[in-house]
Structure 1
Amino acid sequence: MTTINLTKNSYGTQLKFERSHSTIQFNVNTVPTEKVTALFLTHFSIDAQEKILSSKLMTDLPIYLSKEAFELRQQLILLGELEKTQLNYKIIPVNIPVIIDGFTITAFLSDSIHTGSLAFLIEDDNHRRAFFTGDTRLNGPHKKRTKKWIRYINQSPLDALILDANYEPNINNYTEITILDHLNKQLKINDLTTITLPNENLHLVYSLTVLAKKLDKIVVLNSKLNHLLAYFYPESRTLLLDSSSIPVIKNNPAKYILINVKDVSDSFTITPENIYVLADYFEDDKNKNALSISSHLSQLDVHDLLNRLSVSPKQLIVMDQNFTDNTVSY
């Protein structure tokens, strides 16, 4: 029998698949025990993972992640955001089953705000199947990825479906796609504009550079974002904010869109007319320029996902923000 042990805290969702002779773990919010033989990351997170992965117990433990997530980590080291550590990172191929410690693991790229985010199909030697969505959504710009793993899990009966979701009312006003339509109208105004959004959402930053180009504007970025965007989206057109670009921007402020640039008023001695904040959720949404964008599965998304499945999972586990520790066997 395989046991799934599930926990969630401020560092995110963690799963352990345990049998008498082996244990594999998905994501990390506590230091794995010596019993764990392999660790799989749905996505790479500086705040949560690097603090825990620095433990001495992690030195030899194989840590599987996507090629894109591995490259993101390497670039963050180059930027000085991370220390170079001797950890046993391994790139797991996508859409190809691999056997690790008696489990058959198939990784799939997922529609997430995180670069190289993965979902996983886990099968044990008794042909029991469990699917973990990881940090995903249904309404993002990479819908084809979701359709691919839905087709895959529909091929055989599913014992457990584990959804990493914010299972709450649909409070978000926009998706990552519809927000661009909204901003397309707003950014036509001839004034300096600033936008603040989650640093990890590189694809949204890239999409804004495409929109800016259509409007004959240029996106201005801090050095970190500019470096990462140039690496993952080399075709993007941006301007690095530095001492040489500030006079250029001040000469024609309406042409520029500043993204995640701090202390704007100090740099330019002018206050932007258009200030937008894009985030997953706001406690107080009275500010008309605080735009809420969905980045997780909502209640409607969960029902939509279940309707797309031609197989009915024997167990459905929704891990929301109010989730408490749980253990199930299958």
Structure 2
Amino acid sequence: MTTVRFLNGIRSIEGNIVEIATDSSRIITDFGMVGGYTAGSANSLISRHILPDFPDLFSDSAPAKDNQAIVVTHVNFDNINAAIYLKSDIPIYISAEGYKLYRALIENQLIQPICNNFKVLPHDLIVGDLEVKGYPSDCDTMGSQSLLISDGIRNFGISGDVRLNGPNKDLVYKWIRKFKKVNLDLFMLDATAYSFSNKCKLFATDENDLRVQFIDLVKQRRDLIVININPFNVERLAKLCLKMIHYDRKMVLEYEFANVVTKFYPDLKLYVLKESIPDKKTLSKNMKSVQLDEIREYQNKFVLQNSFNNLHLLVNLKAGIYLHSNGFPQISYDQDYQFLREFLFNTKFQYIDFSASGHAGKKDLVFLTDAVNAQKTIPWHSYHPELAIQAMKDLDTELTLPKEKEVIEY
């Protein structure tokens, strides 16, 4: 018998985790905490449904299964932060590009090390009775992947965060065809778009539109443009830098961000904020430093990438516009976000929400579900998955919404 157990994410966009298991083996997909990182004992966090209900992984107890692994759909801190509490030596597999991103972010101190168990997912991962294949996908984080898990008879598909309007949508169509071909017994779909009402305009902009809007701002504005961008979205940052080659502005990056971009785009010429370069550190041959004084004097010649920890640097610059591009703090983190807004108000910077989603829109999700055509589909990673079920009711797939910790038996 094979079981599918849902730990988190049935009615949430945080910490969605599912366990697929046989008598001797189990695969756990993704490993985040509900509500972001929270301090406390593992037992208390499990009882409060913040950590997933795997007590053997967070203690010195014997493992629940002889063969086990965690497989991550994409490397985002909110997707892996439960691993901070791990006491088990269970391996955590991520894509090769995701592993490269994780290492680059750690080396540049943009995230804290989480654990030492991360490994690159091989082409075919065998975990006892179970087999896992990862297929490159597209969301707002480099190295994202969908997962196909099989017990030799039944096939289970997990979309992970996915969008169909991104720069790598061809990768999504490839795994859709793979999933369709094996006639999935169960498809678990990222239904984030069904978290909001039809009147909500969140995530209306895609990456291409964002770049077009960015160029419009560069052409029209004569004051300083500041952008706070998510370091996990290296592709967005690199492409905005590339756009600047054709215009009379320089994109100036903080030292750590520039190093991460260089890991993936080694030939891209970058400008680095001199004040962000640590003592005794040198720049690579494709980097050139720019001082704050120069930015202050010629503000219409620059776009400055600025992270939340370096907000204080804006005090010494003439006010301009501040583009909040899925950077930290996220809007859901009220205290830090409120501080950001008050700081910008006091320094007279104009705040602009400049985001693009890593998730597919509602119509695209209906298309995706229809194209995969699994025997059973579960929309999750949503505050209101019942809206997805209502929208997809005429499709040729059984739609269901399990309860948290419910077990489906095969």
What TM-score range do you get, normalising by the shorter chain? Answer: 0.7 to 0.9
Aligned partner of 2:19 among 12, 16, 20: 16
Whether 1:263 aligns to 2:290 is no
Q: Structure 1 residues 131 and 88, CA, compared in 2 at 3 Å: closer, same or farther? A: same
Match of 2:90 among 42, 57, 61: 61
User: 1:153 is matched with which residue: 179, 192, 195?
Assistant: 179
Give the whole-Å Cα distance in 1 for the aligned partners of 2:139 and 2:127.
25
**Is the counterpart of residue 313 in structure 1 residue 316 in structure 2?**
no
Comparing both structures, which one devotes a greater share of its residues to strand?
1
Q: Which residue of 1 aligns with 2:118?
A: 89
Which shows bigger deviation, 237-246 or 174-183?
A: 237-246
How many angstroms does 1:278 deviate by? 2.8
Residue 48 to residue 110, structure 1, CA distance change in 2 (3 Å): closer
Give the SS at the match of 1:52: helix
Q: Structure 1 318/191 Cα, relative in aligned 2: closer, same or farther at 3 Å?
A: same
| Structure 1 range deviating more: 110-119 or 228-237 | 228-237
Deviation string 1:72-114 (CA, Å, 9 cap, x unpaired) is 2222332245566773332113xx3332222121101110111
Pairing 1:192–2:221 present = no
The residue aligned with 1:300 is 363
Unaligned runs of 5+ in 2: 33-50, 57-62, 276-289, 333-349, 386-402
Q: For the Cα contact (< 8 Å) 1:164–1:319, is it kept in 2?
A: yes
Q: Does 1:134 align with 2:160?
A: yes
Three-state SS of the structure 1 residue aligned to 2:17 is: strand
1:70 pairs, out of 99, 107, 113, with 99
Aligned residue pair count: 318
Worse-matched range after superposition: 69-78 or 41-50: 41-50
**Percent sequence identity over aligned pairs:** 24
Residue type matched to 2:294 in 1?
A: V
Q: Give the Å deviation of 1:50.
A: 4.2
Match of 1:177 in 2: 208
**SS of aligned partner of 2:324:** strand
> Offset of 1:277 from its aligned partner?
2.3
Determine whether 1:114 maps to 2:145.
Answer: no
**Shift in Å, 1:122:** 0.8
Q: Which whole-Å deviations, capped at 9, do the CAs of 1:142-165 have from their partners, x for residues lacking one? A: 111101111211222111110123
Q: State whether residues 13 and 164 of structure 1, in contact with CA within 8 Å, keep that contact through their aligned partners in structure 2.
A: no
Unaligned runs of 5+ in 1: none
Please state how far the C-alpha of 1:193 moved relative to its aligned partner.
0.6
Question: In the TM superposition, what is the alpha-carbon distance from 1:52 to its structure 2 partner?
Answer: 2.7
More helix by share: 2
Distance, in Å, in 2 between the alignment partners of 1:328 and 1:86 is 31
Shift of 1:173: 2.6
In the aligned structure 2, how far is the partner of 1:205 from the partner of 1:193?
A: 14
Residues 67 and 35 (structure 1 numbering): CA distance in 2 closer, same or farther, change over 3 Å? same
- Indicate if the aligned counterparts of 1:219 and 1:237 stay in contact, CA closer than 8 A: no
Report what 1:277 is aligned to: 324
Alignment correspondent of 2:2: 2
Once superposed, what is the RMSD of the aligned Cα atoms? Answer: 2.6
Q: Is the 8 A contact 1:282 1:292 kept in 2?
A: no
Name the amino acid aligned to 1:214.
H
Does 1:164 find its partner at 2:198?
A: no
